[in-house]
Structure 1
Amino acid sequence: MGYIGALDQGTSSTRFIIFSQTGQIVGQEQLEHSQILPKAGWVEHDGSEIWLASQSVITGALKKAGIKGSDLNSIGITNQRETTLIWDRNTGLPLHNAIVWQDTRTAEFLNALSQQVKEKIIYKTGLAIAPYFSAGKVNWLIKNVPAIASAIDEDRALAGTIDSWLLWNLTGGVNGGVHYTDVTNASRTLLMNLESLDWDSELLEIFDVPRQILPAIKSSSQVYGHSDTTGPLLSAVPISGILGDQQAAMVGQTCFELGESKTTYGTGNFALLNTGTEIVRSQHGLLTTLCYKFGEDRARYALEGSVAVTGSAIQWLRDQLGIIASAPQVEQLAKSVSDNGGVYFVPAFSGLFAPHWRSDARGVIVGLSRAATKAHLARAALEAICYQTRDVLDAMSADSEVALTEIRVDGGITANELCMQMQADIMGVEVIRPMIIETTALGAAYAAGLATGFYEDTSELKAKWQEDKRFKPDKASALATTGFKNWKKAIERTLNWLD
């Protein structure tokens, strides 16, 4: 069996990609799903819609590849992290929409925690006290959805991040589905202890989350179960890799060595630095998180800088403002002007993530003059992606005390060559794009294949990585100097907007 599959469930869409043993894509299918926005700051997804989309893309990708489910050696799952769902183990149906990582409804609850409690949470988890993470979402669902409280009382409730929901359904759902998550997803909940790699009793008590509704925590690469033969694969295929999307991109970029890093450009932007088996605690607003754990090997940790809104700012230009008809058009529009015309755009739609961690911030467009056009705004949106990325990479260099000499990038926005050139100019170092930019799905496939012997070891995977293009900084560009200084001023304008 010379193929391996990856189910890549993201913030805006779900994909199934089939790879050959050499890492080439032989078939893929993708479907967008609804963004449910009940109130300002609230973002939800329909878990049933995501599961239906997952079945459709698996079927579609197999058809395009001209193979059957039984031709797959194994499957890996990668997913939007933190997004949280609670469902009924008897009916198999969600008891409420999933609360998405971008959602800010839990800010008040988190702000009310004492400083002593906050410090304890940060030390145990390596994370920040922010609505971004899962624990506050689970707490909100239990307190505000009577059907969930009843299901917990009757031992019918199962909770998890999206990987758990998909794994449970793929392995049979109500007919024996397994309820697991992996260490990378668990490390994003504010409920897992970084040292023990297990749910922490004290954290569960703080957030009032009953342990029995949570999945068992496993490694990122092991056989969790087999697909149900009545499901979309129509055969029992090992499901043997699970990684949160950003950790999957680290694996797909083969960042297995201490000090190696990558930056993924998607709905948000995420930079990770491999710190090896050591837990490095940030002094500059970054997160300490799991990088991966393969089988019985020791866990690898990472520093992470998370930016909430990058690619979704381009979607906003398309869907809310209507100044472009499709996301790729932003490059041509931005190219039609030579600079941003003095316009700066900070897309703090749900607050600012790393390194600021300010949930009171909101988006601003500043520097407008009568001469400003939609092209200047398009250019400002691309620059915002790059400036936010510099903010987190500067913090990463400060924490690691290692100056970045290059940036490995991946994700859909890296196809935008203007944006990648801006990134090189703003950082002053070379930006390197790999041959396969869909490294998130590739990383999930790698994790699955390592567990089944499809891939021998990480050395084999490293040998597969290939460079596509290198963007060299233009030393004459003012983006890194005047531009970055003005960006910092624009950031100040976003703060203290919410009371």
Structure 2
Amino acid sequence: MTERYILGIDQSTQGTKALLFDGKGKRICRTDLAHRQIVNEKGWVEHDPVEIYENTLLAVKNLLGKSGIAGDRLTAVGISNQRETALVWDRKTGEPVYNAIVWQCARGAEICRRTQEAGYGQKIREHTGLNLSPYFSAAKLAWILENVPGARERAERGGLCCGTVDSWLVYKLTGGRVFATDPSNASRTQLFNINTLAWDEEICQIFGIPMCCLAEVRDSNGEFGMTDFEGSLPYQIPIHAVLGDSHAALYGQGCLEAGLAKVTYGTGSSVMMNIGSSPILSSRVVTSVGWCMDGKARYVLEGNINYTGAVMTWLKDDLELIQSPGETETLARIANPEDRTYLVPAFTGLGAPYWDSEAKGLFYGMTRTTKKAELAKAGLESIAYQIQDVVEAMEQEAGLKLKQLRADGGATGNGYLMQFQSDLAQIPIQVSLAEELSGIGAAYTAGIAIGEYDPEKVFGNIERRQYLPDMEEGERDRRYEGWKEAVGRALSVPV
């Protein structure tokens, strides 16, 4: 019998990955294409939607060439994508009216400020599970409709599509036949009611976004149309999974039951916990739909941290303290263990669980003996401290204690960081040996949906490396208390 394959597309902030998985769920080939980061003098961050789509097509074409697998052996595709990034395009022509506004871009801050002053903040949080913030898609879409000439009028006539990257790719890959998203992505727009699992008419009116411009919401493992990637395949295959990247990573990590959690270490980091079939509202972390499969929703608590891997970039490119991120592990191991220098990387404020956009970054606790190694160690440890803050908040909000934390992302290759994370959390850290958890989650969802994969078998094949707590509890508490003191100094209203 000819072996069949599942295709995974992971469209991330930095680029697009095409991944090929065999009949057992093993990744056998990968190709990547980066896209431009368009940043202006105001710090606004954009992507070219057409470039992203063309890169998606080319990545798949390159994947087939690199793997040597014939296109007629692919049976389905799953898509994971950067979340919150928002874009608007013409419903008939498919032409973007403006560049995609990236999740990192805070140009919607004024829209959020006036919305808060109008007294809508609490209602938005109750309906959507999200604190009012320019981080999410709603304010970005509102900005486009308010600032692109003619956009609002066209939107009100139903002539525009207001969506996220997943719905853009689905639209383009199906030749404009399908404009759809899934609940994981919809729940990150700040326009979706997580209780009714539908677009919220009242919230859409608050932001001035016509509901006729929003995508149809389908199950995360539903069918999102057919595609041949504009001729790269000999016939069309179904798009049978759409998931936001962090949600896909949670699924790919096998965190399918309430109480299981993962952390993805990237430029920023996402800590996400499966909380089951009912939402839990929190003021310290946000509540989203993890996924909805076969009509059944699973909810998550999530804390997003802006500066984790980006701290390493700052140490390398701006301070010129290190030559590569990997150097921090060596420096941390040779640093004075008695040094208590902390870095609070609040370069653009602090996110979960503090939500203080006016917080300022700082080094705290330096002495005359603090040198390069100690500063590098402080930068590395700041990643673990920030994640522990979110883990602690989630445990309290959900009323349970994690038994383990599953980890993925580039920084998991840093043994010092992973051990320190385990010491802080006082639980095992299970590091996935696979690198592409978002793409894995999307591909597994698609493969299971078409009956190609047995869930128990594919999730049972996940390989992990384990780190166990090895720090005396009193020492751990002293270090964590020092971190809390440092954060207190960074907050705009000290605690």
TM-score between the two structures when normalised by the length of structure 2: 0.92
**Which position in structure 2 is the counterpart of 1:44?**
46
- SS where residue 256 of structure 2 aligns? coil
Question: Equivalent residues in 2 for 1:303-452 (5 A)?
Answer: 303-339=301-337, 341-452=339-450
In 2, Cα distance between the equivalents of 1:342 and 1:41?
33
Q: Aligned to 1:162, which of 160, 165, 172?
A: 165
Assess, with a 3 A threshold, how the Cα gap between structure 1 residues 148 and 326 changes in structure 2: closer, same or farther: farther
**Which position in structure 2 is the counterpart of 1:53?**
55
Assess, with a 3 A threshold, how the Cα gap between structure 1 residues 72 and 375 changes in structure 2: closer, same or farther: farther
Q: Which runs of 5+ in 2 are unaligned?
A: none
**Which position in structure 1 is the counterpart of 2:291?**
292
Asked if structure 1 preserves the Cα contact closer than 8 Å seen for 2:45 and 2:105, the reply is: yes
Asked if structure 1 preserves the Cα contact closer than 8 Å seen for 2:173 and 2:230, the reply is: no
**Which position in structure 2 is the counterpart of 1:79?**
81
Assess, with a 3 A threshold, how the Cα gap between structure 1 residues 184 and 9 changes in structure 2: closer, same or farther: same
- SS where residue 299 of structure 1 aligns? strand
- SS where residue 222 of structure 1 aligns? coil
401-410 vs 325-334, which moves further: 325-334
The answer to whether residue 477 in structure 2 is matched with residue 491 in structure 1 is no
**Which position in structure 1 is the counterpart of 2:204?**
204
Assess, with a 3 A threshold, how the Cα gap between structure 1 residues 429 and 253 changes in structure 2: closer, same or farther: same
Give 1:437 shift. 3.8
Q: Aligned to 1:140, which of 133, 140, 143?
A: 143
Give 1:338 shift. 4.2
Give 1:382 shift. 1.5
- SS where residue 356 of structure 1 aligns? coil
Give 1:129 shift. 1.2
Assess, with a 3 A threshold, how the Cα gap between structure 1 residues 322 and 89 changes in structure 2: closer, same or farther: farther
How large is the RMSD of aligned CA atoms in angstroms? 2.3
Asked if structure 2 preserves the Cα contact closer than 8 Å seen for 1:96 and 1:145, the reply is: yes
> What is the count of residue pairs matched by the alignment?
490
In 1, Cα distance between the equivalents of 2:439 and 2:475?
33
Give 1:250 shift. 1.2
Assess, with a 3 A threshold, how the Cα gap between structure 1 residues 479 and 108 changes in structure 2: closer, same or farther: farther
- SS where residue 399 of structure 1 aligns? helix
The one-letter amino acid of 1:137's match is: K
Assess, with a 3 A threshold, how the Cα gap between structure 1 residues 432 and 226 changes in structure 2: closer, same or farther: same
Assess, with a 3 A threshold, how the Cα gap between structure 1 residues 299 and 234 changes in structure 2: closer, same or farther: same
Assess, with a 3 A threshold, how the Cα gap between structure 1 residues 412 and 495 changes in structure 2: closer, same or farther: same
Q: Deviations over 1:3-51 (max 9, x none)?
A: 1111111122221111122222211012232222224553222222222
Q: Which runs of 5+ in 1 are unaligned?
A: none
Q: Aligned to 1:152, which of 152, 155, 162?
A: 155
Give 1:138 shift. 0.8
Assess, with a 3 A threshold, how the Cα gap between structure 1 residues 43 and 419 changes in structure 2: closer, same or farther: same
Give 1:126 shift. 0.9
The one-letter amino acid of 1:400's match is: A
Give 1:230 shift. 2.3
Give 1:401 shift. 1.7
Q: Deviations over 1:234-279 (max 9, x none)?
A: 5412111011111101110111112222222122222222222112
Assess, with a 3 A threshold, how the Cα gap between structure 1 residues 23 and 328 changes in structure 2: closer, same or farther: farther
**Which position in structure 2 is the counterpart of 1:260?**
260
Assess, with a 3 A threshold, how the Cα gap between structure 1 residues 94 and 259 changes in structure 2: closer, same or farther: same
In 1, Cα distance between the equivalents of 2:118 and 2:388?
30
In 1, Cα distance between the equivalents of 2:93 and 2:373?
50
- SS where residue 94 of structure 2 aligns? coil
- SS where residue 287 of structure 2 aligns? strand
The one-letter amino acid of 1:34's match is: R
Assess, with a 3 A threshold, how the Cα gap between structure 1 residues 404 and 115 changes in structure 2: closer, same or farther: farther
In 1, Cα distance between the equivalents of 2:150 and 2:440?
38
**Which position in structure 2 is the counterpart of 1:474?**
470
Asked if structure 2 preserves the Cα contact closer than 8 Å seen for 1:103 and 1:350, the reply is: no
Give 1:201 shift. 0.6
**Which position in structure 2 is the counterpart of 1:117?**
120
Asked if structure 2 preserves the Cα contact closer than 8 Å seen for 1:14 and 1:57, the reply is: yes
The answer to whether residue 111 in structure 2 is matched with residue 104 in structure 1 is no
State the identity %: 39
Give 1:178 shift. 1.5
In 2, Cα distance between the equivalents of 1:392 and 1:11?
22
In 2, Cα distance between the equivalents of 1:417 and 1:121?
41
The one-letter amino acid of 2:459's match is: K
Give 1:375 shift. 3.2
Asked if structure 1 preserves the Cα contact closer than 8 Å seen for 2:24 and 2:453, the reply is: no
**Which position in structure 1 is the counterpart of 2:23?**
21
Asked if structure 2 preserves the Cα contact closer than 8 Å seen for 1:130 and 1:357, the reply is: no
**Which position in structure 2 is the counterpart of 1:194?**
194
Asked if structure 2 preserves the Cα contact closer than 8 Å seen for 1:294 and 1:447, the reply is: no
264-273 vs 364-373, which moves further: 364-373
The answer to whether residue 462 in structure 2 is matched with residue 465 in structure 1 is yes
Assess, with a 3 A threshold, how the Cα gap between structure 1 residues 365 and 46 changes in structure 2: closer, same or farther: farther
Q: Deviations over 1:205-260 (max 9, x none)?
A: 00000112211111100111111452544541211101111110111011111222
The one-letter amino acid of 2:383's match is: I
The one-letter amino acid of 2:155's match is: I
146-155 vs 469-478, which moves further: 146-155
Give 1:341 shift. 4.0
Assess, with a 3 A threshold, how the Cα gap between structure 1 residues 477 and 406 changes in structure 2: closer, same or farther: same
The one-letter amino acid of 1:417's match is: G
Q: Aligned to 2:174, which of 161, 171, 174?
A: 171
In 2, Cα distance between the equivalents of 1:373 and 1:12?
33
The one-letter amino acid of 2:108's match is: T
